[in-house]
Amino acid sequence: MNIKITGTGSYIPSEIIKNEGFEHHTFLNDDGSNFKNDNTVIIEKFKSITGISERRYVKPEINSSDIGFFAAEKAINNAGIDPETLDYIIFAHNFGDVKKGSIQSDVLPGLAARVKHLLRIKNPKCVAYDILFGCPGWIEGVIQAQAFIKAGMAKRCLVIGSETLSRVIDNHDRDAMIFSDGAGAAIIETTTENGGILAHATETYTYEEAFYLYYGKTNNKTIDSDTHYIKMDGRKIYEFALKHVPSAMQSCLEQSGADIKDVKKIFLHQANEKMDEAILKRFYRLYRTEIPEHIMPMSINTLGNSSVATVPTLFDMVRHNKLKNHTLNLGDVVIFASVGAGMHINAIVYRY
């Protein structure tokens, strides 16, 4: 028996926010001072570094648990299973449900429990819980699902990654342009089919790195200082990712027994286009080999960084042939990898 992803689903919000939509924002430095350049220059530089030209936001009446439910329904239908047969629902997020216009995060009940309620699952042995693991949360959820199955505690799990970062961004911080909303989900279960999860790796760095991403005050010192927003030290995150992610991917690949030449796709967390490209270069440099064409699908240019949702939505898009120049075939070896708040890093080597 193997442990495989048998169904996937995603929810891409309908509201498109282009870079031009930020031209009239008042961006400020951390100390509240004005930038020397105008917004046109700031946005052009932002685009050249991140690759983002637009991102997606949810409608005002929709929350993270809602879009997680939408993605979960699609994954369940794609797998062709009865939701009553699920043993675990694992919901990865970072901020819970944050209603439009609210300054509070709502996690009572947890988002996994809300999804189970929305799916109308009666089975009390279907255990629903949330995990907070930064951007690598969905991948870690898949790793946990595999552990439950290998331990004989489950046969079938639903893993969701959902976030509405548009509700927790500081509109006076230029980093606000990075973040977006979205949800992805997958069914993980035992199967007689070949392939599945071959290896996984997870690392946590907190000695100096714990607060590279954090909850902080607005850059605008003239407004309510009690409201906090997602903040990050982009330069330190970039350097950290380049130093640690490629080696974690290498360790995971070696543990899997697969060869670098077997790898057909690499699904990296969509945090920053330049950072992901640099991670890819350093990974292949470890093997002293050229980077194959079309090895790394990217969605950040149009979807932005939706944290835990980037990897499952990207995988779902490729799996359903919705991304140009990217397809998957049975037997393909792929790598999932992510880095984010904690600081956490993880990776999975998977045979499709």
Kindly give the confidence (pLDDT) of every residue in the chain, 352 residues in length, as a single tens digit, with 9 standing for 90 and above.
Answer: 799 999 999 999 999 999 998 988 888 888 888 888 888 998 999 999 999 999 999 999 999 999 999 999 999 999 999 999 999 999 999 999 999 988 789 999 999 999 999 999 999 999 999 999 999 999 999 999 999 999 999 999 999 999 999 999 989 989 999 999 999 999 999 999 889 999 999 999 999 999 999 998 988 888 877 888 899 998 999 999 999 999 999 999 999 999 999 999 999 999 999 999 999 999 999 999 999 999 999 999 999 999 999 999 999 999 999 999 999 999 999 999 999 999 999 999 999 9
Predicted TM-score (pTM) of the model is 0.95
Same domain, 254 and 320: yes
| H or E segment and range at residue 271 | none
Same domain, 335 and 215: yes
Same domain, 310 and 240: yes
Closest to 185 measured CA to CA, from 116, 265, 277, 109: 116
Same domain, 178 and 220: no
Same domain, 184 and 60: yes
Same domain, 241 and 121: no
Residues 100 and 329: their CA atoms lie apart, in Å, by 41
Q: Are 70 and 13 in contact (CB under 8 A)?
A: no
Same domain, 206 and 138: no
Residues 165 and 182: their CA atoms lie apart, in Å, by 9
Residue type at 78?
N
Which domain CATH number covers 31? 3.40.47.10
- Residue 178 φ then ψ, to 5°: -75, -40
Same domain, 117 and 242: no
Buried b (16+ CB within 10 A) or exposed e, 123-158: eeebbbebbebbbbbbbbbbbbbbebbeeeebbbbb
Q: Which of 136, 168, 193 is the last residue of a domain?
A: 193
Same domain, 59 and 11: yes
**CB burial of residue 330 (10 Å; 0-12, 13-18, 19+):** exposed
Same domain, 177 and 204: no
Residues 162 and 183: their CA atoms lie apart, in Å, by 4
Q: Which of 193, 228, 243 is the last residue of a domain?
A: 193
What is 316-334 written as a DSSP string? HHHHTT-STT----TT-EE
Q: Are 133 and 161 in contact (CB under 8 A)?
A: no
Q: Are 48 and 87 in contact (CB under 8 A)?
A: no
Count of domains for the chain: 2
Q: Are 111 and 65 in contact (CB under 8 A)?
A: yes
**Domain, as residue range, for 263:** 198-351
Same domain, 171 and 291: no
The torsion of the CA quartet 29, 33, 38, 44, rounded to 10 degrees, works out to -10
Residues 9 and 69: their CA atoms lie apart, in Å, by 10
Q: Which of 167, 193, 219 is the last residue of a domain?
A: 193
Same domain, 160 and 206: no
